[in-house]
Structure 1
Amino acid sequence: MKHSLILTTALTGLIALPAAAQEVALLSWGGAYGNSHLEAYAKPFEAETGIKVVMQDADNPATPIKAMVEAGNVTVDVASVEYADAVRLCDEGLLETIDGSILAAAEDGTAAADDFIEGAVTDCFVGTDVYSMILAYDDSKFADAKPATPADFFDLAKFPGKRTMRKGAKFNLELALMADGVAPADVYATLGTPEGVDRAFAKLDSIKSDVIWWEAGAQPPQLLADGEVTMAYAFNGRIFNAAQAEGKPFKIIWDGQIYEMEGWVVPKGAPHLEDALKFVTYSTSPKPQARAAEFISYGPPRKSAAALVGNIEGTEVPMGPNLPTSAENMTNALGSNLDFWVDHDAELNERFNSWLAG
């Protein structure tokens, strides 16, 4: 009887296991971006597969992912992270390998490997979108001359008011150099020298006392809306959403935009690995990627998805011209240099934090 009870209990556990496994815990960024994940990926995936998607938010999902894996207490299956963070986490052995062969082909049969833009699929990462850091301003604050360049962002005399910038070295040092006259093509070569780093910090010094530093992507549009700042350095999708969905008088400056990819990673030890990989495959297919771009103005990294992007959700206005990847918006754009930041992130952030505290 005792053995029979043990066997029954064991069998019950085995029978119950698949039902318990039908879930994906997804860690995203919240706000308008998180909503694009919910509407374009999570809801349709759940409807199609019956696998429940439970979403959580973080200011930067890479941080809790690293902590979870190192503590051996992983509660997330899929996370959205920035490209450089994905490479770093992968190098540290904190992510599962994602076999590129599981990714869906384009509708015309083109293999996923040939349909994604260069660098969008790595050992541990599959790109979901191309976003950019852009300058933005409150149009109501500047009656005559309008800011149009990185140099204008640093010109407090001509364009008065507080600024808001992301708290950290990345993006800010590049912007400072472009504002100081360095061409986008020369930014990383310049930043790779001690003199170039000094030059960037000297430029940041010129507005330091007028900057409010942000850490969560939702903060810049809120600071603009509250009138606490007149100009912001922010994720393009957050500013776009505030202007489009909330009718805020915000304008984007594409000159000097710095573009980069975000995408999915699967933490090492993800509790629902099989379902996590199903979600990755589904959500990085062309149609869902195009659909996500209709909710927030981040470009799909699949070539075949670009043509599928329709109107801004709930409007008759085409989304295409609002994407960082649109040809007209790429003039004078800078691609974030992954290798540079993998090599220099720690030292430059240490200097940035010392500079900020000084």
Structure 2
Amino acid sequence: MTRPSLLAAIAIASLSTITTGAFAADQLVVASFGGAYTASQSKAFIEPYMAEKGAKVLTADYNGGLAELRSQVQSGNGAWDVIDLELQDALRACDDGLIEKIDASQLAPAADGTAAADDFLPGTLMDCGVGTIMWSNIIAYDKTKFQNGGPKTIADFFDLEKFPGKRGLSNKPNVNLEWALMADGVPNDKIYETLATEEGLNRAFAKLDTIKKDAVFWGAHAQAPQLLADGEVVMTAAANGRIYDAISKEHKPFEIVWDGQIWNLDVWAISKASKNKDAALDFVKFSTTGPRLADVTKYISYGPVRKSSQGLVPEAIRTNLPTYETNFKTSLANDLEFWADHQDEINQRWATWMAK
């Protein structure tokens, strides 16, 4: 798979500020995004860890970003030990000294002895974080709302005439702007190049203007399938795992549109304010082995990031993952370098646009 240049350039550093070894089997708090996602982590990681280690692990829900983590570190009130961060937030948290450095050599090797640094997919290890899953932003729709066939492309999401009804969108500019340009005919390999120009940004916002009056904005990933289930929208942007869970476990009449999926990574990170850093690292090491990462796919359709995990995932499950070949054909990698350079200025314009 092609990955953004920034990911390929991330060094798997040998710096270590955390050491393994003896630690108190004390209470750990793992902060994550809630819903089906945290439930999958509980089944694949947390429950087996507690059973094997005799430790107590609690979960805390949050909606992403760094505000809460920053507050904890600055105040010295370490309410969280391990945090699930989207990669762009992990990079910034590392730069800002909010999370600990993790030496890749401390992670478990593959079953055949391959070092972790060689077993993790390129770009899924970083100085301060360890990749866990690859997930995608996708479009999902309620099949009962479209008797003559539902949307197939990102362009269909913006076609209110052919596919009338409310649209669910994230309340952040990320992904929305990329999809707007895709729908307006910009090739995937030109999306970020176009978005980096004033003309391209104007073009993206103009496309979003065409559906804004019919848009319902959500702030947490768990809201997207709920909006669809409640009939408040007929299609929505969402994390693929949330929708698959609603389909497979709740038997909702939803369908995923894989066209134009924008994929990203989540990583485990350890808070600088954690009072139990050795135990936190032990949990990260335990939960990022090949079998544990493969086990996540039993509960949610996100792709594991270790090579040794891939063959452990049944074929029936692999077809529902973002990394499955058919689903991946028109995908776009989230360009972290672009967002690192432009996030603040685009956030300001987004806030102005939202307020109109």
| TM-score, length basis structure 1 | 0.91
1:83/1:260 contact within 8 Å kept: yes
In 2: Cα distance, 1:132 partner to 1:67 partner: 29
2:97 to 93, 98, 101: 93
Question: Residue 209 of structure 1 corresponds to which residue in structure 2?
Answer: 213
Question: Residue 355 of structure 2 corresponds to which residue in structure 1?
Answer: 357
In 2: Cα distance, 1:61 partner to 1:27 partner: 12
Question: Residue 71 of structure 2 corresponds to which residue in structure 1?
Answer: 67
TM superposition shift of 1:110: 1.2
1:61/1:80 contact within 8 Å kept: no
In 2: Cα distance, 1:265 partner to 1:288 partner: 17
2:226 maps to 1:222:
yes
1:29/1:61 contact within 8 Å kept: no
Deviations 1:270-325 (A, max 9, x none): 110000000000101111100011100000011110111238xxxxxx21100001
Deviations 1:20-39 (A, max 9, x none): x5222110111000001101
Letter in 2 for 1:118: P
SS in 1 for 2:304: coil
SS in 2 for 1:160: coil
Pairing of 1:191-270 with structure 2 (within 5 A):
191-270=195-274
1:96/1:269 contact within 8 Å kept: no
Letter in 2 for 1:319: I
TM superposition shift of 1:18: 6.0
Give the number of aligned pairs. Answer: 335
Any unmatched runs of 5+ in structure 2? 1-21
SS in 2 for 1:144: coil
Question: Residue 290 of structure 2 corresponds to which residue in structure 1?
Answer: 286
Pairing of 1:39-78 with structure 2 (within 5 A):
39-60=43-64, 62-78=66-82
Segments of 4+ moved more than 4 angstroms? none
Letter in 2 for 1:127: G
Any unmatched runs of 5+ in structure 1? 1-16, 312-317
1:294/1:310 contact within 8 Å kept: no
TM superposition shift of 1:73: 1.4
- Flag the structure with larger Rg: 1
Question: Residue 120 of structure 2 corresponds to which residue in structure 1?
Answer: 116
TM superposition shift of 1:155: 0.2
Question: Residue 10 of structure 2 corresponds to which residue in structure 1?
Answer: none
1:170 to 170, 174, 193: 174
Question: Residue 9 of structure 1 corresponds to which residue in structure 2?
Answer: none
Deviations 1:181-238 (A, max 9, x none): 1111111111111111111101001101100000111111111111110010110000
Letter in 2 for 1:217: H
SS in 1 for 2:84: strand
Letter in 2 for 1:213: F
1:27/1:61 contact within 8 Å kept: no
2:277 maps to 1:273:
yes
In 2: Cα distance, 1:119 partner to 1:254 partner: 23
In 1: Cα distance, 2:114 partner to 2:181 partner: 40
1:325 to 315, 323, 326: 323
In 1: Cα distance, 2:311 partner to 2:187 partner: 31
In 1: Cα distance, 2:336 partner to 2:120 partner: 17
